[in-house]
Amino acid sequence: MNTAPRSPEKKNIFVIGLDEGNEEVLRRVPGAERYLFHPLLSIEELQHGEIRIVELMEKAQAILDAFDGSIDAIVSYWDFPSSTMVAMLCEKYGLPGVSLEAVLKCEHKYWSRLEQSKVIDEVPAFGIVDLDDESPRPPEGVGYPMWLKPVKSFSSELAFHVADEAEFDKAVVEIREGVSRVGDPFDLVLGKVRLPTEVADVGGAACLAESELSGVQAATEGYVHNGHVTVYGALDSINYDGSPCFERHQYPSQLPDDTIRRMKEVSVRVMER
């Protein structure tokens, strides 16, 4: 493990999956002249083909241990496995960062919905579809139309909007065939924390069903530092015209101030759990 003292000059920041576009953004942040950005693994290694989480962690640690200098931060722009690797590596190298449990609570869709439902009543009906059942059916209380999706995926991979039983059955077949690519390595990471019984019972390669939402889609943005939650903005989630598929975020949100205030209050309560 690299235990070199923190440099009083430029800070060495390792970025998992650093690419040219994101490096350009990083070089525009205030004070960027005080930082040196180092790539740590490539996008191809992280997100193409089979996700070998154990090998990725070993390679990342080997690169960090061989680095001749201080390791001042480890960050990433990307979803799993990068997001969970950041948490594990920050813990290993004694760096500030979010705990692995907190990351998993947000990334495991079923666990996330359970946590949200503890602080707010206005959540869509949701539940787990038993992919091991000979003839899976929607969970009790979740009616058509609904969304089916793995409890962990990225870029809406294997997410299906289903309006009837025929579409449900077709979606289940596809999710069964593809859920393990992300679900199995995600399961390995889940094994590193103490899980609630209801999450441990479904694991990382499960299927979530939840009722369709209507209305304007929006989100909040913020951070947690030293246990204090700061929500500094709200943005609208814009879909492609005539499609339920996400296109982009638009900042700032055009929702009324009262609605944004409510969103921020809920976000703080969820993140403080």
Tell me: do 191 and 144 sit in the same domain: yes
Tell me: do 262 and 233 sit in the same domain: yes
Residue 116 covered by a domain: no
Count of domains for the chain:
3
Q: How does residue 48 score in pLDDT terms, banded at 50, 70 and 90?
A: confident
Of 208, 231, 258, the residue that ends a domain is 208
Name the amino acid, one letter, at 130: D
Tell me: do 182 and 141 sit in the same domain: yes
Tell me: do 16 and 93 sit in the same domain: yes
Residue 199 covered by a domain: yes
Tell me: do 93 and 140 sit in the same domain: no
Residue 26 covered by a domain: yes
Whole-number pLDDT of residue 49: 80
DSSP state of 17: T
Residue 262 covered by a domain: yes
Poorest-pLDDT segment among 12-21, 114-123, 163-172, 239-248: 239-248
Tell me: do 228 and 184 sit in the same domain: no
Q: Torsion angle of alpha carbons 110, 112, 118, 120, nearest 10°? A: -110
For the record, the structure tokens of 237 come out as 């989630």
Of 97, 117, 143, the residue that ends a domain is 97
Average of pLDDT values for 154-158? 80
Whole-number pLDDT of residue 122: 85
Whole-number pLDDT of residue 191: 96
Residue 119 covered by a domain: no
Helix (H) or strand (E) holding 47: helix 43-47
Mean pLDDT (the chain) is 92
Whole-number pLDDT of residue 203: 96
| 54, pLDDT greater than 50 | yes
| 3, pLDDT greater than 70 | no
Whole-number pLDDT of residue 240: 86
Q: Are 10 and 34 in contact, with CB atoms under 8 Å apart?
A: yes
| 268, pLDDT greater than 50 | yes
Average of pLDDT values for 88-95? 97
Residue 88 covered by a domain: yes
Burial of 241 (0-12, 13-18, 19+ CB in 10 A): exposed
Tell me: do 87 and 31 sit in the same domain: yes
Tell me: do 251 and 195 sit in the same domain: no
Tell me: do 15 and 46 sit in the same domain: yes
Residue 115 covered by a domain: no
Residue 3 covered by a domain: no
Cα dihedral 103, 219, 172, 79 sign: negative
Of 187, 208, 229, the residue that ends a domain is 208
Whole-number pLDDT of residue 8: 59
Q: How does residue 156 score in pLDDT terms, banded at 50, 70 and 90?
A: confident
Tell me: do 18 and 59 sit in the same domain: yes
Tell me: do 195 and 229 sit in the same domain: no
Burial 59-92 (b: 16+ CB within 10 A, else e): ebbeebeeeeebbbbbbbbbbbbbbbbbbbbbee
Cα(149)–Cα(200) distance, integer angstroms: 18
Q: Considering only CA atoms, which of 92, 91, 87, 123 is closest in space to residue 107?
A: 87
Residue 253 domain boundaries: 218-271
| 24, pLDDT greater than 80 | yes
Tell me: do 203 and 222 sit in the same domain: no
| Tens digit of each residue's pLDDT (9 = 90 or more) over 231-241 | 999 999 998 88
| 60, pLDDT greater than 70 | yes
